[in-house]
Structure 1
Amino acid sequence: MYYQFYGLKEAPFNLTPDPRFCFLTNSHREVLANLQYGVQARKGLIVMTGEVGTGKTTMIRSLFETLDKTVLAAYILNPKLSLSDFLQLLVINFGLKNVTSKATLLERLGKLLVDRHARGLITALIIDEAHALSAQLLEEVRLLSNFETYNQKLLQIVLSGQPELRDLLNRPELRQLKQRISLRCHIKPLTPAETRNYILSRLEIAGAVNPFIFANRAIELVYQYSAGVPRIINNICDNALLSGFALERGLIGEDIIREVARDFDLEPPTSDFNTTAPDVSLALEPSGAGEVDVEQRQPPGELARTDAISGQAIRHGGPQAFGGACKQERRWLRLFKM
């Protein structure tokens, strides 16, 4: 809807994880390197954690893209399963035949793992949203990790989940599973500089000739309201572009960001900015030494490709809900008049 107005070819801030927009911060690169090393070096059990919306699923998809045909990986996206459903998914994902019981499954799976290992091949089990796993399924994961030779694990297991996964693994009854963890990694939210590069990069990938659509302080507010979480950044920026289009504003200022934040009932920044200062877009060039990393010094065409994180923020609520809804209605009326 706002593409032509801002010179875009497509939506730059979709909530789906499009690999074309993959943006790897230092934290994401470190996590991806840990996942690659853990699987390829046959380290066994690997745990990845991160707050909601920081890109855990995107890291899993990036891992899949880096693995070659020597790796057979089963991916379980929804861990809220019964034991029988969990075992059935293993049968389907690993292509096991004539499985009539759990004992048969373990026997067939053992043969598959031994055969693949003998041929230099890797087998992996990747479980997303692992913080939602029941204690019973976590015990099954521990038992699956027992497939091993004298010096290597036969099944590489990746558990990905929110920080609650760490608390879950710290339970006394799961200490045996915790002791089997060979690698741990955690995705950090974006820094202010990474948030700016993230926004500019996504706009440039979406076709913007001039990606400086967001004023400097608007980007600062996006960072503060989102706390550097990519999913929330995407939601704020997408709605800000819609508002800017409705208002015929070629430059997204801090007033639009504040309005969008009120509409989504986001917490206000802990420290505010001087609202009387001029709002200038081209103040976005890198500042002095010590504040800018290598990615910041790159021109927009060379920015690291970015990562779109899927999900959805909660809309409306709180004392500003009625006023926000009225503004949304006026915004849509402007759109329909165009």
Structure 2
Amino acid sequence: MYATHFGLQAPPFQLTPDTSFYYDYRGHREALNVLLVALRSGEGFVKVTGEVGTGKTLLCRMLLNALEGEFVTAYLPNPCLGGNGLRAALAAELGLDCPRNLGQHHLLTRIQGRLLGLAAGGHPAVVCIDEAQALSDEALEAIRLLTNLETERSKLLQVVLFGQPELDARLSRPGLRQLRQRITFSHRLEPLDAAGVARYVTHRLAVAGAPDPGLFAPRALRALYRGSGGIPRLVNVLAHKALLAAYGEGAARVAPVHVRRATRDTEGARMPAWPSPWAYGAVGTLGLGAVALLAMGGLLP
């Protein structure tokens, strides 16, 4: 929509977790290093938590890429499973073709056999479970039992849980203390600070091929930080809408007023005290949704 106007070769602020846009922020780098050290040490059970939009899924994909060739990996993005459903999903990820009506005992036996074969060939296995705060107690117990599978020297399966802070609350319950005690490493992802937001935006624009590294004015970047609270997903949403607002009025750069319009248009964004609504001009009156429709219809420059 606005790519040609700003000289971009790709959309810079899509919400899909594209690893080519990964920004090596300090907190994410520390988390990735903790995960790699823990897994390469055979620690067995690791947990990463963070608020919605802090980049857990992207970090998970970066981890899977880093483990490629060194570990056999399984990725379970759907936590809405019971115990046997989770085992069946893991079996499929490990390349096992099991009948749907296979009982719990037989399914676990097949998984164990597959893991033993991988270990004998020098290929340790890791399963990454996203949105783990939504796992049922039955599924959490199934995970605990899977971590019982081991040889005399090492675990047959290591587990990484990615979840929102509610996961910590779940695991603090007395009924899950056995699982909680198995977790050897934990890491909490924090939002970006103001400098981190500025570098994050500049990095994504550079990856998208922006010819002007200063496409967002410094005050616009500060407004992005205030509006997003440093949450990468919200930064993406606000930056995209701010580019849309700037494009709608034919501006060459994104100014603070464009970010303010984006913030007003976005649920969950932080709303500071605004100037008079008349200061927002035509785009503020129409709303960014109307601007998008006009742009797609070719009615805007």
TM-score by length of 2: 0.89
How far is 1:127 from its partner? 0.7
The answer (yes or no) to whether the contact 1:247–1:334 under 8 Å persists in 2 is no
The answer (yes or no) to whether the contact 2:248–2:300 under 8 Å persists in 1 is no
Q: How does 1:219-238 map to 2 (within 5 A)?
A: 219-238=221-240
Of 153, 159, 162, 1:160 maps to 162
SS of residue matched to 2:185: strand
Structure 1 residues 59 and 328, CA, compared in 2 at 3 Å: closer, same or farther? closer
SS of residue matched to 1:179: helix
> Which position in structure 2 is the counterpart of 1:326?
286
Distance in structure 2 (CA, Å) of the matches to 1:178 and 1:334: 53
How far is 1:236 from its partner? 0.5
How far is 1:178 from its partner? 0.4
Between structures 1 and 2, the one with greater helix share: 2
Distance in structure 2 (CA, Å) of the matches to 1:44 and 1:330: 51
Distance in structure 1 (CA, Å) of the matches to 2:167 and 2:98: 34
Distance in structure 1 (CA, Å) of the matches to 2:290 and 2:35: 48
The answer (yes or no) to whether the contact 1:196–1:219 under 8 Å persists in 2 is yes
How far is 1:119 from its partner? 2.7
Of 261, 264, 270, 1:267 maps to 270
> Which position in structure 2 is the counterpart of 1:147?
149
Q: Give yes or no for the alignment of 1:79 onto 2:72.
A: no
Greater relative contact order, per chain length (Cα 8 Å cut-off, separation 6+)? 1
Q: Which runs of 5+ in 1 are unaligned?
A: 276-322
> Which position in structure 2 is the counterpart of 1:187?
189
How far is 1:97 from its partner? 4.8
The answer (yes or no) to whether the contact 1:247–1:331 under 8 Å persists in 2 is no
The answer (yes or no) to whether the contact 2:262–2:288 under 8 Å persists in 1 is no
> Which position in structure 2 is the counterpart of 1:299?
none
The answer (yes or no) to whether the contact 1:263–1:325 under 8 Å persists in 2 is no
Distance in structure 2 (CA, Å) of the matches to 1:198 and 1:5: 21
Distance in structure 1 (CA, Å) of the matches to 2:286 and 2:162: 40
> Which position in structure 1 is the counterpart of 2:31?
31
Q: Which amino acid letter does the alignment assign opposite residue 268 of structure 1?
A: M
Q: Which runs of 5+ in 2 are unaligned?
A: 276-282
Deviations 1:7-55 (A, max 9, x none): 2112111111222111011110111111112222211111111111111
Q: How many residues align?
A: 288
SS of residue matched to 1:75: strand
How far is 1:261 from its partner? 0.6
Q: CA RMSD in A?
A: 2.1
SS of residue matched to 1:5: helix
> Which position in structure 2 is the counterpart of 1:279?
none
Q: Which amino acid letter does the alignment assign opposite residue 198 of structure 2?
A: R
Q: Give yes or no for the alignment of 1:41 onto 2:41.
A: yes
Structure 1 residues 337 and 73, CA, compared in 2 at 3 Å: closer, same or farther? closer
Distance in structure 1 (CA, Å) of the matches to 2:290 and 2:103: 61
Taking only the aligned residue pairs, the percentage that are identical comes to 38
